[in-house]
A and B are shown apart, each in its own frame.
Chain A
């Protein structure tokens, strides 16, 4: 591999595209493609959080709320408004972005613990509204999602969804990598390190943070919409606290600020429960333990740690 490609910001994209192409060749059955499709979708949501948490340094403990907005958009849109599923995905993304723009202004003034708690409160309220409006949303039982069609063809089957989710994920990764290298990305990283210094160099800190929050919300809503369409069923769990925690864990375990890390983290936390089905009773314990161990011993995450080992060896 040439050195320029190794240093290129699009290296993660190339690696991801290669992985996307290889998985179907080695997957023994449709089940594995389904799990992979879930990995791609959660990767997308985690990438949104990477922009917010990794680039801008702002935490959100309620991000599953935006997944919920996206997921219920694809359920409610076709059911009540007769909208096309894909239009519903777009509408859900716009709605999530709009809500993020409105609640983001006051919330993002807070820092550290206070920001974490405010976003947690927001996420809980979204999930409570979804559960509470049971006449419309079906309450805790959830509701069915109409099958999506594309050019008259029904989107169904593991391999179809594999390619759809992989495609959307790669687009999301390209956008996130571009943002990371753009002046906006540099501004976000600057305010991550020091908000005071960033604002002193003329960066509009408040509006940059808000942009990151809105973008993260849109990523989340699209991911939520894809999950709803893929499963054919949505339940309030998608907007729940545990889902928010898992998203944050994906971003941190994979590697804060790394787009490729978001995918690694998502793969880790999506595949792990599948691997642990035999130990079903111990699943929660293992998840809790892993989160603790990673936070204590590898707070930078897997990908940055590997990168460090790699560069030290090369040097």
Chain B
């Protein structure tokens, strides 16, 4: 039982991070119909940026803030310099552009930072808390709480503020949004900036647990992607549920079956979902099928 609980908690912890990455995908996908493969690299920028700024003598909150701002700038540049000039391109072209961007960011991170693994100190001590025989790291609670706060904040932003509603309108119908006077270009930039901020925050929260390195973006992108797929591409609730589900399945797969195939869980989940229920758990947009 305690092993079960232990696996569940570690699954929920990484799952919360996947959910945040998936939420980033969802925001950009809804607003611009682009699947952004560089989403995972925002996670890396958040974690690595904070590590290096702290090494330069800044305190954790200041370092984290600057790292998030850095990720937002990269997100905005990605939109402005790579996505916007390719307007109207085919999905394959757009995928390759964001993959190119991801490779570029990784290459740049290799030079700006280094090629070593890094870790952040846990935010509030490293002594595990004992709950029903399972040892829980305080950092796990930080990750879970952080994810919940971000979700709620995003939900309130999208439903309660005019800007948020304009963003939703843009996602629903770009032409109609433009007709009622919404600056679509600003909204698309906002989607990229928000996604970047969310990814970077996820990266900072999880860095004390999973370590960070210049090339961790790819695996987070792929997992977040699987989460978005399972939940239903374009659905924020789906991103949350899908992320937690992928995290839990992965933890149980590693614990009870084989740790060598931990990563395979996400990809099997993608294939299974696509074949059995291509709209995912919460998907509303229909998948084109022949």
- Interface residues of chain A, those whose CB is within 8 Å of chain B, are 53, 59, 61, 106-107, 109-114, 116-118, 120-122, 124-125, 128-129, 131-132, 134, 195, 205-206, 241, 245, 248-249, 252, 281-292, 295-297, 299
Residue A288 contacts which of B101, B218, B225, B290 (CB distance < 8 angstroms)?
B101
With known contacts A118-B271, A121-B267, A125-B264, A284–B106 Cβ distance under 8 A: yes
Interface centre among A113, A205, A287 (most CB of B within 10 A): A113
The answer to whether B288 and A111 touch across the interface, beta carbons within 8 angstroms, is yes
Q: Provide the residues of chain B in CB contact with A206, threshold 8 Å.
A: 290
With known contacts A110-B289, A281-B111, A118–B274 Cβ distance under 8 A: yes
B123 within 8 A of partner (CB): no
Expressed in whole angstroms, the Cα–Cα distance for A140 and B187 within the complex equals 44
Mask, B106-150, CB within 8 Å of A = 1, is 111011000000000000000000000000000000000000000
Residue A132 contacts which of B108, B260, B289 (CB distance < 8 angstroms)?
B260
- The stretch among B53-61, B90-98, B161-169 that forms the contact with chain A is B90-98
List 16 contacting pairs A-B, 8 Å CB cutoff, sorted by A.
Answer: A61-B95, A109-B289, A111-B289, A112-B91, A116-B91, A118-B271, A124-B267, A125-B271, A129-B264, A285-B104, A285-B108, A285-B110, A288-B104, A289-B100, A292-B82, A296-B97
In whole Å, how far is A216's beta carbon from the nearest beta carbon of chain B? 15
Interface centre among A61, A116, A292 (most CB of B within 10 A): A292
The answer to whether A291 and B100 touch across the interface, beta carbons within 8 angstroms, is yes
The answer to whether B100 and A118 touch across the interface, beta carbons within 8 angstroms, is no
The answer to whether A241 and B218 touch across the interface, beta carbons within 8 angstroms, is yes
Expressed in whole angstroms, the Cα–Cα distance for A287 and B100 within the complex equals 7
The answer to whether B86 and A289 touch across the interface, beta carbons within 8 angstroms, is no
- Interface residues of chain B, those whose CB is within 8 Å of chain A, are 35, 82, 85-86, 89-93, 95-97, 99-108, 110-111, 218, 222, 225-226, 229, 233, 258, 260-261, 263-264, 267-268, 270-271, 274-275, 278, 287-290
Q: Provide the residues of chain B in CB contact with A124, threshold 8 Å.
A: 222, 263-264, 267
Residue A110 contacts which of B82, B86, B106, B278 (CB distance < 8 angstroms)?
B278
Expressed in whole angstroms, the Cα–Cα distance for A71 and B268 within the complex equals 23
The answer to whether B267 and A195 touch across the interface, beta carbons within 8 angstroms, is no
The answer to whether A291 and B86 touch across the interface, beta carbons within 8 angstroms, is no
With known contacts A110-B289, A289-B104, A125–B268 Cβ distance under 8 A: yes
Residue A121 contacts which of B93, B97, B270 (CB distance < 8 angstroms)?
B270
Residue of B nearest to A196 (CB): B290
Residue of A nearest to B89 (CB): A299
Beyond the given A284-B110, A295-B96, A299-B93, could you list 16 further A-B residue pairs with CB under 8 A, ordered by the A residue number?
A: A112-B288, A121-B270, A121-B274, A124-B264, A131-B260, A249-B96, A252-B92, A281-B111, A282-B111, A284-B104, A286-B107, A287-B100, A291-B96, A291-B97, A295-B86, A299-B89
Q: Provide the residues of chain A in CB contact with B97, threshold 8 Å.
A: 291-292, 295-296
Expressed in whole angstroms, the Cα–Cα distance for A78 and B18 within the complex equals 42
Residue of A nearest to B226 (CB): A121
Q: Which DSSP category, helix, strand, loop or mixed, fits chain B's interface?
A: helix
Q: Provide the residues of chain B in CB contact with A111, threshold 8 Å.
A: 287-290
The answer to whether A295 and B93 touch across the interface, beta carbons within 8 angstroms, is yes
Expressed in whole angstroms, the Cα–Cα distance for A132 and B263 within the complex equals 10
Residue of B nearest to A241 (CB): B218
Residue of A nearest to B287 (CB): A114
Q: Provide the residues of chain B in CB contact with A107, threshold 8 Å.
A: 274
Q: Provide the residues of chain A in CB contact with B290, threshold 8 Å.
A: 109, 111, 195, 205-206
Q: Which DSSP category, helix, strand, loop or mixed, fits chain A's interface?
A: helix
Expressed in whole angstroms, the Cα–Cα distance for A132 and B106 within the complex equals 26
The answer to whether B225 and A117 touch across the interface, beta carbons within 8 angstroms, is yes
In whole Å, how far is B78's beta carbon from the nearest beta carbon of chain A? 10
Expressed in whole angstroms, the Cα–Cα distance for A110 and B289 within the complex equals 6
In whole Å, how far is A34's beta carbon from the nearest beta carbon of chain B? 25
Q: Provide the residues of chain A in CB contact with B99, threshold 8 Å.
A: 245, 291
The answer to whether B86 and A296 touch across the interface, beta carbons within 8 angstroms, is yes
The answer to whether B278 and A252 touch across the interface, beta carbons within 8 angstroms, is no
The answer to whether A288 and B103 touch across the interface, beta carbons within 8 angstroms, is yes
In whole Å, how far is A56's beta carbon from the nearest beta carbon of chain B? 12
The answer to whether A113 and B263 touch across the interface, beta carbons within 8 angstroms, is no
Expressed in whole angstroms, the Cα–Cα distance for A283 and B258 within the complex equals 35
Interface centre among B90, B110, B261, B267 (most CB of A within 10 A): B267
In whole Å, how far is B265's beta carbon from the nearest beta carbon of chain A? 10
Expressed in whole angstroms, the Cα–Cα distance for A113 and B234 within the complex equals 13
In whole Å, how far is B274's beta carbon from the nearest beta carbon of chain A? 5
With known contacts A122-B271, A252-B96, A295-B93, A287–B263 Cβ distance under 8 A: no
The answer to whether A291 and B274 touch across the interface, beta carbons within 8 angstroms, is no
The answer to whether A295 and B89 touch across the interface, beta carbons within 8 angstroms, is yes
The answer to whether A113 and B95 touch across the interface, beta carbons within 8 angstroms, is yes
The answer to whether A117 and B274 touch across the interface, beta carbons within 8 angstroms, is yes
With known contacts A117-B225, A124-B263, A288–B100 Cβ distance under 8 A: yes
The answer to whether A292 and B101 touch across the interface, beta carbons within 8 angstroms, is yes
